[in-house]
């Protein structure tokens, strides 16, 4: 199901993520900023922003990201990590793996791919 890419980031595609979430086998960790999360997110998702701000001058990474995730989930929790398009969540997944989280997977293509998948297959995972 999940594949290990050459860069060792465990990844799932949108269809795999929908199946895992529907079976309640995984929790969804949304790493977008709060205002994006509030506009729409996966049902039951928890939000821990990877970036605190994104401006023309750069991105400010959340220095407490790993600690905040660890406060919500044990390190053996099965998590799907998603953002808008899959770039931020890949970085977040790498940080979590480095911090000792054993069952995290990046959502390839992010929330946008999940929305496309749910629209095509009518999965209840995205709200």
- Strands 51-55, 58-61: pairing is antiparallel
Active site residue 18: no
Neighbouring residues of 42: CB distance < 8 A, sequence distance ≥ 6: 21, 28, 30, 82, 111, 114, 125, 126, 127
Look-up of token digits 């506009």: 39
DSSP 53: E
In this structure, what token pair is assigned to residue 95?
Answer: 């940080």
Cα separation, 91 vs 99, in Å, equals 12
Q: Which among 18, 33, 69, 83 is annotated as catalytic?
A: 83
| Catalytic residue set | 83
């Amino acid at each position: 199901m999940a594949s290990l890419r050459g860069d060792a980031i465990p990844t799932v595609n949108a269809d795999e993520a929908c199946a895992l979430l529907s079976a309640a086998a995984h929790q969804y960790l949304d790493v977008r900023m709060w205002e994006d999360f509030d506009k729409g997110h996966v049902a039951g998702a928890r939000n821990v922003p990877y970036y605190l701000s994104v401006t023309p001058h750069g991105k400010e990474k959340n220095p407490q990201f790993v600690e905040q995730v660890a406060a919500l989930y044990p390190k053996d929790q099965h998590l799907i990590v998603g953002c808008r398009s899959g770039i931020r969540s890949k970085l977040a997944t790498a940080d979590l793996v480095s911090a000792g989280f054993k069952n995290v997977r990046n959502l390839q293509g992010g929330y946008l791919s999940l929305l496309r998948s749910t629209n095509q297959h009518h999965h209840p995972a995205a709200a």
